[in-house]
Structure formats: C-alpha cells, structure tokens
Structure 1
Amino acid sequence: MHRTPLGKFREKLLHRPSDASPGAEREGEPIAFGMEGPLVLRFVEEGLDPADEARLAEEVAKTLPLRWSLPTRALERLDLLSERLGGERKLLEWLDGHPGLPRVTARLLVLADSLDRYTDDPAVVTAVRDFRSAHGLPDELRGVLPPATNAETLTDISSRLERQLFDHDAPEARSLGLATSRWLRDAVSAGGSPSPALAETGEVMARLHEDIAEASL
C-alpha cells in the first residue's frame, strides 16, 4: 500500500477503553471474535514466527470491521496491536503486508475512510451529482445508491463497504470498492479541467483502484 494516500487516513478506527487492563489476557480468557489473546500478547511482547503472524493478521482482518460492536476485551487487543505497531496507520500498513484477506481489508478500509472524508467536500458531491445525471450509474452501483445524489451518497457507499466486510463478504466488498473508486475517479475528472482539489481526489481514487485491483483474495 506504499502508493495509496494512507497519509490522509484519519486515525479513528479504534477507541481506547478507559478500563483497559492488558494483564487480564494472562488469565486464559477465551477467544473474543476470533482474536486469540495469547497470540496478541506474544506478538506485542516478543514477536511471532511468520506462520503465526500471518494467522494473527487473518484474525485482525476478520475482527477490525466488527469494531463498532466489539466487546471491551477485543477492543483492548486491537488497541494493544495498534500501540505496538505505532498507531492505526501502521496497523493498516501491517495488515497490508499480508496477502489475501488482510491486504484487501486494509485497502478497503482506506477507501471507506476516503469516502467519508470526501462526503464533506461540496465540489466532490457536485461532481458526482453531475456525472451521475449525465452518465447514469455503472451496473455495479445500481441498486446500491438511492435515486438522489447528495452529501450522504459517498457515506452510504462507505457504510455498505464496511457492512459487507462486517458480514465477511470480502469478494462483494472488493467488487464494490473497485466500482466505487473507478466511478469517483471518472466523476471528478469529467469536467476536463478539474480544480486542483478535484484533480487530487481523482489521483487518490486512481491509486486506490489500482491497489484494490492488485489485492486478491
């Protein structure tokens, strides 16, 4: 993910619980949402061999989209990993370093965050509305978006992406991510001479589209 705009990612994936107590992991607490406490602690304290680290990355990829409904203990484990790796951006970079589901999940979460950010940009929303009026929707987005295009349109797609990952439907999420990044790239570039801000948005979406296309399950 070295070419993606990860530097723009807003570190909002995790919320550290006020009663975090990592030492509880040593008491043999059962697995929470697929994340093994002892495996997390070993990674944090001494590192893992490649096979176990790959297994942990798979577990994190399956857990991270569930973060809004995770119990406190599972959030603590994610927070431990994030701190060990140097923050949420580094957590996503670490996931991206593991092929398959971890890489796809990391890149789709960056796309979802970008969509949430651009939904607050009136120029992007106007470009999307005008492009949709002139060209309609690609097949992949028909039935996904409501008839009206407004400030909630990109957030709606972002929420759908996260819902598909939440439901462990990574193939559909990947397909939606590819269609969305391509559509938004084309929409902000359709005017011929986009503003610098729209041109940057187009570049971001183009890079994200390439990265998602390169990540296979």
Structure 2
Amino acid sequence: MTAANLDRKLLDAFTSGKLDHSGEAALAEQVARLLPTHWMLPNSAAAALSKLTKHLDGPAALEAWLDGHPGRPRLVARTYRLIRLLDRLSNRRAVVTALAEMRAESGDPPPLRGYLMPATTAETLASLAQQIESMLADRPVEDVLQLALATVDLLQRLAPRLREPDPDLSGLDDEVAEIRRSLAETSIQEIAGR
C-alpha cells in the first residue's frame, strides 16, 4: 500500500475469495485509514475503494465489514454511522429549529465548543459530521471518540424535542442510543495498539 492507496494484491485476493484472515485484517486496516479522506484520494485509490464497496454490496455493507475487524476499522465503521445520521438530520427543519432553541436556552455543551458553528443553520450538523470525519484521518482516536460521544450526547438531548414536530424521527432515541452503545464499546487501547 502506498500512502494513499490500497494494496492491490490484497484487494484482488479478497474480491476473488482467496484472502486469509490476516490479509483481510490488513485490508480492513488500510480501508479504515483511507475512508476518512475519500474526497481527496487519487483516482487509483478511489477506484480500489469503489471496487471493494461494490464487491461488498454497498456502503452499509462496507461499514458492516469494517465493524467486524477490531481496532481502527471498527472505530471508523461506528463513527460513520454517526456521520450518516448527522448528514441525514442536518436539513430537517424541525431539527434545525429544535437545535437552535436548545442552544439558545442552554448554550453549547463544553465539549462541542469550538466545533459547532456560531449560528444554527442546516449546515450545523453537517459541519460537525465533516469535522468528525476529518479527525478520523489525522487526530488521535481519543479525540475522535470524545467528539463523537459529545455529539451523541447532544443528539440524545435533542431527540425528545423532535417527537412532536417531526413524527418521522420518533425512532431517533433508539438509533442514537445504539450509536452511543457501539461507540462506548470501542476500545481506545485496542485502536491505539494498531
């Protein structure tokens, strides 16, 4: 693997069903390091990542595959669930309104100060998702987990405010609780050792 690419031999062996467990773990580690920088990958790396994603049957299956590998791959998979949720919520009017009201009432949670945009807009949660994704690429795992868990705390406080104005989000409490559980189970020691 070059600095910004997947090991082609590992990828080809995996997609042809001939890769052993240790090779698959090495490939998962490489994917976990590249995925947070997907938007700036060279064409060869983007094509390799696309080939793997298609082989696994899409982005959700890629995340499930990564989650099956301890360490950084699992952290990346679980963090991307949060990122996807933030992106999904960011343009919903009820979410933006409830978040603005909550911030006006109690201010920003201390762990999120400096990460949340000053004004609450449809970009606020999307911006937070981008920051978490960027941190996955170049910050210590402790920082990533701290920001991710602080973001989950914010969403857990926000979810009850959304039940009435947006009934489509009635299951948000459960979804956020599952994300919190999965992130909390992520072992920093295990990740740092990789």
Q: Structure 1 length as normaliser, TM-score?
A: 0.79
What displacement does 1:192 show? 8.4
Confirm or deny: 8 A CA contact 1:92 1:106 kept in the other structure.
yes
- For 2:102, the equivalent position in structure 1 comes to 131
Q: Report which stretch shifted further, 78-87 or 167-176.
A: 167-176
- For 2:58, the equivalent position in structure 1 comes to 87
Confirm or deny: 8 A CA contact 1:189 1:198 kept in the other structure.
no
- Cα shift readout 1:14-53 (whole Å, capped 9, x = no counterpart): xxxxxxxxxxxxxxxx735152111111111133211111
Of the three residues 73, 81, 84, the one matched with 1:110 is 81
Aligned length: 188
> Is the alpha carbon distance of 1:106 and 1:191 closer, same or farther for their aligned partners in structure 2, counting shifts above 3 Å?
closer
Map 1:2-81 onto structure 2 (within 5 A): 31=2, 33-81=4-52
Q: RMSD of the alignment, in Å?
A: 1.9
Q: 2:132 and 2:171 mapped to 1: Cα distance?
A: 22
For structure 1, the 5+ residue unaligned runs are 1-29
For structure 2, the 5+ residue unaligned runs are none
Equivalent pairs: percent with the same residue?
Answer: 38
What displacement does 1:146 show? 2.6
What displacement does 1:83 show? 1.9
Confirm or deny: 8 A CA contact 1:141 1:180 kept in the other structure.
yes
Q: Structure 2 length as normaliser, TM-score?
A: 0.88
Q: Does residue 176 in structure 1 map to residue 176 in structure 2?
A: no
Q: Does residue 153 in structure 1 map to residue 114 in structure 2?
A: no
Confirm or deny: 8 A CA contact 2:116 2:124 kept in the other structure.
yes
Any runs of at least 4 consecutive aligned residues in structure 1 with deviations exceeding 3 A, and if so which?
190-195
Q: 1:152 and 1:181 mapped to 2: Cα distance?
A: 17
What displacement does 1:143 show? 1.5
